[in-house]
Amino acid sequence: MPANKTSIHFDISERKVLLRLIDIAVVLAMLYMVSQLFNFDYFKINAVHWVWSIVLGIYLTIFATIFELYNLQKAGKFEVTIQNIILTTSVTVLFYLLTPFFTPELPENRLQIVYFYISINLSLILWRYVYVTFVSAARFNKRVLLIADGPEIERIIDSLEASDPNYKVVGYVKSGENNYTGQHRVSLLEFKNSELFDLVKEHTISEVVVAAPAYEGITLPLYNQLLHMLESGVSIREYTQVYEDINRRVPVQQIDQDFYKFFPFSRSNQNKLYLFFHRGLDLFLSVIGLVLGLLLSPIVFIGNIIGNRGPLFYTQERVGKNGIPFKIFKLRSMVVDAEKTGAQFAQKGDIRVTKFGRFLRNTRLDEIPQFLNVIKGEMSIIGPRPERTVFVNELSKKIPFYEVRHLVKPGVTGWAQVNADYGSTDADALRKLQFDLYYIKHRSFFLDISIIVKTLSTIIFYRGQ
């Protein structure tokens, strides 16, 4: 490759912003074109009716997030994207029609609503086809040079490429002087003296990721070359920072005992205004949740009588903030004597879960009584899920920093619940802890709203645990 050739790539945050902005732009452009070419007066884009466009853009962004149009793993699959576009457009148009105070009044010619619906679908499908074909193609991959050594290289590559389909490790350079000779899926790139910069240009590297083991570090010649490249504008980042950015979780297995170096906890944990907002959101959503529970109570009562055959509610001791235990309220989803042989994690496809209990879990209706815990101040709407004392004691001995999750109130939902798959092994617990620590480290108004939206997506797609 020519030495002066540069790669074009988009980071995760850039692609998500790109998708959101162009989604709105192509929809408005299509509607404007339709209004100009045809006798279409339901939706006008002009200085008089500018609010209509803003409301449509807000609805589109919210429901596109709920229906996972900005999930990059799925955004690159055109068949899945089409399904999510139809769902997004259907709900967006429905809400748009039902809020005439902010949107146009229903037209006399109801066929215009069909044009409105088709125009939004068509514009999104055409644009997302372009995205899948060009923007998410290999030509826009972020080409990465890894500086690392030892058997952990494969795990590092897996962790980077699994979360970002456009993140490609093209090779690695030894970080130290050890003689590890294991085979890896990417090539060892050799260089001499001052040739590392030339190596970066030759392979069109977008970013250098340093994952040097703490016990080995980086050799002085390599350090000097990295410093030279940094001064020349090459992006050089440390692995744990990259991991946290693209996975949105903290790599606790990589940070040893350097606790305060990696966990400068969010200022929001001491921010009075944020804590006031957070508590207000807790109370507001809890009241709505309890009202919804009352409306659904006839269905729940009947389902419990037919499918559960036993008490409707149950309580259980869980560990709360600062390690203080409390009694959690839930709708019973397992058989009455589910733990007659002792406490155990719920398994995927657990035979102890009743048929109606499975429905309660998948829809998360079993969590509704926990809104009482939230009102009492024992829980929050958002936070790490509370575990039983026996499991906390067990996992704390196996997983570093596990008890850090008790620095905040446990939640009805949380960052781990909307990102991690169902699991009951120690590895699953570690993965969930990584998400929980990310939330504690970065909790904010916008992250809270993101979790609430993702929770709605979990319920809609019937993925409750």
Q: Is pLDDT at 277 greater than 80 in this prediction?
A: yes
pLDDT at 71: 83
Q: In what order do the strands lie in the sheet with 235-238?
A: 187-188, 167-173, 142-147, 207-210, 235-238
Q: Is pLDDT at 4 greater than 50 in this prediction?
A: no
pLDDT at 183: 59
CA distance 310 to 335: 8
Who's near 37: CB < 8 A, 6+ residues apart?
none
pLDDT at 148: 82
| 292 close to 412: Cβ distance less than 8 angstroms | no
CA distance 398 to 412: 25
pLDDT at 36: 83
Who's near 428: CB < 8 A, 6+ residues apart?
420, 421, 422
Share of the chain above pLDDT 90, in %: 28
The model's pTM is: 0.76
Q: Is pLDDT at 258 greater than 60 in this prediction?
A: no
pLDDT at 373: 96
Q: How many CB atoms lie within 10 A of CB 43?
A: 24
Q: What sections of 98-194 are H helices per DSSP? A: 111-130, 153-163
Name which residue leads in pLDDT, 73 or 315. 315
Beta strand 313-319 pairing with 235-238: unpaired
Share of the chain above pLDDT 70, in %: 82
Listed range (84-93, 114-123, 164-173, 455-464) with the worst mean pLDDT: 455-464
| 197 close to 232: Cβ distance less than 8 angstroms | yes
pLDDT band at 159 (very low <50, low <70, confident <90, very high): confident
CA distance 125 to 80: 11
Helix (H) or strand (E) holding 445: helix 445-460
CA distance 413 to 344: 21
Nearest to 333 by CA among 317, 313, 316: 313
DSSP secondary structure letters along 359-427: HHHHHTGGGTTHHHHHHHTS-EEESPPP--HHHHHHHHHHSTTGGGGGGS--EEE-HHHHHSPP--SHH
Give the CB-side neighbour count of residue 218, counting CA atoms within 13 A.
17
Model confidence over 105-130: pLDDT tens digits?
877 787 888 889 999 999 999 999 99
pLDDT band at 265 (very low <50, low <70, confident <90, very high): low
| 147 close to 210: Cβ distance less than 8 angstroms | yes
| 434 close to 251: Cβ distance less than 8 angstroms | yes
Mean pLDDT over 237-251 rounds to: 85
Model confidence over 61-100: pLDDT tens digits?
999 988 888 887 788 788 889 999 999 999 999 999 888 8
Q: What sections of 237-347 are H helices per DSSP? A: 239-247, 259-262, 272-303
Model confidence over 423-450: pLDDT tens digits?
667 788 888 999 999 999 888 888 998 8
Helix (H) or strand (E) holding 80: helix 78-97
Q: Is pLDDT at 211 greater than 50 in this prediction?
A: yes
| 157 close to 146: Cβ distance less than 8 angstroms | yes
Model confidence over 15-42: pLDDT tens digits?
788 899 999 999 999 998 988 888 777 8
pLDDT at 2: 39
pLDDT band at 177 (very low <50, low <70, confident <90, very high): low
What is the distance, to the nearest Å, from the Cα of residue 329 to the centroid of all Cα atoms in its chain?
Answer: 27
Listed range (52-56, 148-152, 402-406) with the worst mean pLDDT: 148-152
Tally DSSP H helices, then E strands, for the chain. 17, 9
User: What average pLDDT is seen over the chain?
Assistant: 82
Q: How would you label 387-398 residue by residue, b for 16+ Cβ within 10 Å and e otherwise?
A: bbeebbebbeee
Q: Is pLDDT at 103 greater than 50 in this prediction?
A: yes
Q: Is pLDDT at 324 greater than 90 in this prediction?
A: yes
CA distance 328 to 339: 17
Reported in sequence order, the residue ranges of 127-198 that DSSP labels E, i.e. its strands, are: 142-147, 167-173, 187-188
pLDDT at 349: 59
Nearest to 211 by CA among 168, 159, 258: 159
Q: Is pLDDT at 215 greater than 80 in this prediction?
A: no
Crossing angle of helices 153-163 and 239-247, in 10° steps, is: 30
